[in-house]
Structure 1
Amino acid sequence: MNWKNTTRQTLGTTVLCLAALAATAASAATQQMVSVKGSTLNMRSGPGTHTEVLWELKRGYPLKVLARKGRWLQVIDFEKDRGWVARSLTGSTPHHVVKSRVANMRSGPGTQHRIVGKVEYGEVLRTREKRADWVRVERDSGKIGWIAKRLLWGW
């Protein structure tokens, strides 16, 4: 193999690696999760206060970031509703929302642990810990327990 072919191969490999790295970074950015930082936040139809308010979201509500435009984030929620929120009104405190009709909150991470409460569809819970298929969460009341991950959405 001559010098020209070796240089071409190296250059080609480098370009492919950089493209893969850029795609991975873009994917990671779009997978970011945020939660409502204040007491409420308006999800809007577009990036600006002049656009229609679609939903009013309460403190802790988790959202997945799809895109960014200036000071605005395009987001999606657990019901697949999309909209825009002001980035300054979001935070990085992890929360989950209940996506099943009812979920048992247990004293430990497993079905063998006793039920300490029940949570309903749409309830927002503060994430405290994660273990395999279980999430330790806290209700607004301060009650803490474990819920099967498959019954929740968030991070």
Structure 2
Amino acid sequence: MPWLAHIRLLFLAAALGLAALAPAWAQDLVSARNPTINMRAAPSANAEVLWRLSQGYPLQVLERRGDWLRVQDFEGDQGWVARRVVGDTPHHIVRSPRANLRAGPGTQHRVVHTAVYGDILRTVRRQGDWVQVQRPDGRGNAWVASELLWGW
């Protein structure tokens, strides 16, 4: 899609309030900064804990209210997190059953690792339709097709 069409789509999404039309990298995203954070039912430390999320877990910000953020994850689940427990370090989460991590940005490169649904990957950079991530096994970086991921 030409770049002008991308810009038009982003403006349309913003005008309609439909963040889902914009690609994840164009949305307001944060990631869990602490080893574990609580997603709560309401913006209060006393509210019910809906889920516990691991470090790096990417979240889309839907609303800001004082020290709290209403967020949504890659599956559409929503809740509240304290601002102090999230940051701006880019991460992706695997949204396909399986994702091949490759030595380079393309299917012609050998598979060096396999990630599965829900794995959190630290983002290094983007190149076209590919994302370079840190390998979960700690053996450097690898590339994965962006269509298999959600985040930035």
Question: Is residue 148 from structure 1 mapped to residue 145 from structure 2 by the alignment?
Answer: yes
Question: Is residue 82 from structure 1 mapped to residue 86 from structure 2 by the alignment?
Answer: no
* Cα RMSD after superposing both structures: 1.9
Aligned twin of 1:40: 36
Question: Is residue 65 from structure 1 mapped to residue 24 from structure 2 by the alignment?
Answer: no
Segments of structure 1 that go 5 or more residues without pairing to the other structure are 1-19
For residues 114 and 142 of structure 2, the distance between their equivalents in structure 1, rounded to whole angstroms, comes to 10
Percent of aligned pairs sharing the same letter: 54
How far off is 1:111 after superposition? 0.4
For residues 43 and 50 of structure 2, the distance between their equivalents in structure 1, rounded to whole angstroms, comes to 12
For residues 29 and 142 of structure 2, the distance between their equivalents in structure 1, rounded to whole angstroms, comes to 22
How far off is 1:114 after superposition? 0.6
Segments of structure 2 that go 5 or more residues without pairing to the other structure are 1-10
AA in 2 matched with 1:88: R
Aligned twin of 1:52: 48
Q: Which has the higher helix share?
A: 1
For residues 92 and 135 of structure 2, the distance between their equivalents in structure 1, rounded to whole angstroms, comes to 10
Q: Is the 8 A contact 1:124 1:139 kept in 2?
A: no
Aligned twin of 2:120: 124
Question: Is residue 112 from structure 1 mapped to residue 143 from structure 2 by the alignment?
Answer: no
Aligned twin of 1:9: none
How far off is 1:50 after superposition? 1.3
SS at match of 2:45: coil
SS at match of 1:137: strand
Equivalenced residues, count: 132
How far off is 1:140 after superposition? 3.8
Q: TM-score, normalised by structure 2?
A: 0.82
SS at match of 1:65: strand
Rg (Cα) greater in structure:
1
SS at match of 1:79: coil
SS at match of 1:88: helix
Q: Is the 8 A contact 1:67 1:74 kept in 2?
A: yes
How far off is 1:142 after superposition? 1.7
Q: Is the 8 A contact 2:69 2:83 kept in 1?
A: yes
For residues 102 and 114 of structure 1, the distance between their equivalents in structure 2, rounded to whole angstroms, comes to 16
